[in-house]
Structure 1
Amino acid sequence: MLYGSRECARIMLQEGVEARYARHRASGAAMTAGLRAMGLTVFGDDRYRMTNVTAAFIPNGVDAETVRRRMREDFEIEIGTAFGPLAGKVWRFGAMGYNAMKHKVLLTLAALEAVLRAEGVVLPAGEAVPAALAAWDATR
């Protein structure tokens, strides 16, 4: 555990603390913009939401676990569930650490769009990635 902690600190210092914070802000903004462009409702108030995890309401009629399984099996992308009063109501999308990278956010959004469309969800085609790119650029 000590070696792992030391390695994390080394990587963070190598990148620079401010640059790391900026990357996480950009990742969170991009994820939020992409989810909204897809027509999903993002949970919470933008003024207070964390940058590293974005929750979105699961569309009505969608089997949430089927979507999570397909994301994992078809794209090797893990999206989280919620707990407590939000269990079964939202998915949680992490954009932190290694996953707080532009290409990872874009891949997640494109994969989610593909899975949702395959599950019969009608949503704007091809809108999520451009929205995420614009949000990324606006925060950098």
Structure 2
Amino acid sequence: MGAPPVPTEEHSRIIRARRVVAAAQAAAARDGQAPTRSLPKAIANTTDPESRVMPTRRGFVQGYNAQVAVTADHVIAAVNVNQQPNDMPSFVPMMTAATDAPRASMQAPAHPNTRSGSSWPMPATAATRT
């Protein structure tokens, strides 16, 4: 079932990482340079300046974070787009919008081109609520 647990300082990956750091520091000292960390250049998105660079599992992506709440029968109840990389701040507002959507759809007038006089519940207030 795998290797037995060892103290953190004795773990093979820690030992290997310390060797790599020591070698890099020795090489930098040999060259007469202090170890530096290069930062990426600032990049502006001229196509969509309101989008944001957000971290992902595999790096970074420039874009938005979209949230959608649907009903049990897959009808979209609420939509929200923001610039926050984390989903947690959107949870409560999305659940509030999703629970308010059926009430708002019952008050919405029916579309005149439907035969039965009813339309899909797609109120604008639920989609824009934050």
Fold equivalence (TM over 0.5): no
Question: Higher strand proportion, which one?
Answer: 2
Question: Higher helix proportion, which one?
Answer: 1
Q: TM-score, normalised by structure 2?
A: 0.25
Larger Cα-atom Rg: 2
Bigger relative contact order, structure 1 or 2, given CA contacts below 8 A and separation 6+? 1
Q: TM-score, normalised by structure 1?
A: 0.24
